[in-house]
Structure 1
């Protein structure tokens, strides 16, 4: 019996919606489970394969083993064929995808069915990015709130329909940005006016999607809480972000933001994707940074598990 688990990448923060919501993307982490005697063996390919552990120290089997221990279950070692399209340390939810994959491996091997609340509770033990974990599991646009009950943390989530005509352009520079370090550059306290500014625009993003007011997209992406502090740490990122103020000059462009904590920059558009991608890449190039671009759709399905005999 062979099981294949497919988990989408994700982008989070979406401008003003810092730590609030995330969006699943049509880039995938695929994990194929094959029987083998002994402990876990990981056979990686794709993005970052040369940097990933091939034994039980790899995040995917580590999560699977940890959840089994917490649940009082025993799971066998297996061979995991891991193929990833998700770049590492680029703000595209690679670790969240691996965590959801690891929990999915546990469920497959144990036959234990976790509720959504339980699954997110275990996932949050490995990282706090609910706005990446939620879309990796559920797909689409997900608003995620961390809640605590009886000393246990989990997520409350609401999945929303994403406008089909709004596509994604990613511009991925050659340099990485470590999420924990980028969290460290943020101020511990913010001005009330800045907090209100972001609250208004985070709410605006949800409202414009509900009412299809795509003309307001760039306004909803304006941010005062995280991008101004992070962009200076990545050459060229500031120039790419300025496109959010110049959408009228680029037909089809709705807005631009950092993806997660960077370094990827994300554009939302309804057309002229090649031209928008070229402009983003050009702006990195003028700062001496090489980059690659990807055009894609939102993944509305989320995690997929297929088993064949």
Structure 2
């Protein structure tokens, strides 16, 4: 018989930035902007409360993404609680390319395991990561949200997902520029061509490999390493202001990229240049100075 823990369980989950320029659908980085969620088992029903970013646009029933992820994780462990109470305090902006959906999914599976006594014996980290990636459909944001740090992830021919961590030089920081309106991932992906020139694919592979090395300990190569050939320019019609900002920053030697599917712009910097970079935030946008490669989901 399954035993549930007494009292609430809390989880903190980071925002993430995927692609990072050339690493399309493979590279992801955890950022120091975190959602905080609390859940507990009740005698019956479902009670969902949401405050903060995106609160006006999410459901409060079984279709809520965190609840869906929790239900899937409970199924994985062979149980369902009689009732649930969930409270979400959101900081990660929605539909901005900062991994809000992956954060919700990772939070849900982590909370569910935390609510089951001996949950780690019923579903280990590898199983929870596989579940979270299946729910999201791809692992590039889920991997850093779950494990933290800088990750290289993908999907094998048999359908299993993988994620491998890579170091991040402590000198590297990030500034994100968040526009006031979002772009859906579906719209952004719909602009991508079915095929790209072989030369572009080869160039992108080289820059991706260089980016792993640059982040690990040679940040002087980040400008060259973040040059993308596969997706950003194709998405310009959906986010022209974002790509214009990327162009301006890169022209001044700043390693800037579209974060995930956009429209947020992420720029790499160091401690000496971060504040000045925040000052370049366009009117009406929000600029945030963030640490990179921070911890993944943390349960308490």
The answer for the alignment partner of 1:5 in structure 2 is 11
Instruction: State the 1:228 CA deviation.
Output: 0.5
The answer for the alignment partner of 2:4 in structure 1 is none
Please give the root-mean-square deviation of Cα atoms over the aligned residues, in Å. Answer: 1.7
Give secondary structure in 2 for the equivalent of 1:20.
strand
Instruction: State the 1:70 CA deviation.
Output: 4.5
> Do the aligned residues in 1 keep the contact of 2:9 with 2:115 (CA within 8 Å)?
no
Structure 2 distance, partners of 1:140, 1:247, is 28
Instruction: State the 1:72 CA deviation.
Output: 3.0
The answer for the alignment partner of 1:118 in structure 2 is 127
Instruction: State the 1:257 CA deviation.
Output: 0.2
Give secondary structure in 2 for the equivalent of 1:240.
helix
Structure 2 distance, partners of 1:91, 1:136, is 13
The answer for the alignment partner of 1:22 in structure 2 is 28
Deviates more, 1:194-203 or 1:116-125: 116-125
Structure 1 distance, partners of 2:249, 2:286, is 19
> Do the aligned residues in 1 keep the contact of 2:54 with 2:94 (CA within 8 Å)?
yes
Structure 2 distance, partners of 1:183, 1:16, is 15
Instruction: State the 1:157 CA deviation.
Output: 1.6
The answer for the alignment partner of 2:250 in structure 1 is 245
State TM-score, norm by structure 1. 0.89
2:177 is the counterpart of 1:171: yes
Structure 1 distance, partners of 2:242, 2:261, is 12
The answer for the alignment partner of 2:151 in structure 1 is 142
The answer for the alignment partner of 2:3 in structure 1 is none
Q: How does 1:13-52 map to 2 (within 5 A)?
A: 13-52=19-58
- Distance of aligned partners of 1:75 and 1:137 in 2 relative to their CA distance in 1, 3 Å threshold: same
The answer for the alignment partner of 2:136 in structure 1 is 127
Instruction: State the 1:148 CA deviation.
Output: 4.6
Q: How does 1:1-309 map to 2 (within 5 A)?
A: 1-111=7-117, 112-113=119-120, 114-149=123-158, 153-210=159-216, 212-248=217-253, 253=254, 255-270=255-270, 271-281=272-282, 285=283, 290-306=284-300
Spell out, residue by residue over 1:245-265, the C-alpha distance to the aligned partner (whole angstroms, 9 max, x if none). Answer: 3244xxxx4x00000000100
Name stretches of at least 5 consecutive residues in structure 1 with no aligned partner. none
> Do the aligned residues in 2 keep the contact of 1:144 with 1:155 (CA within 8 Å)?
yes
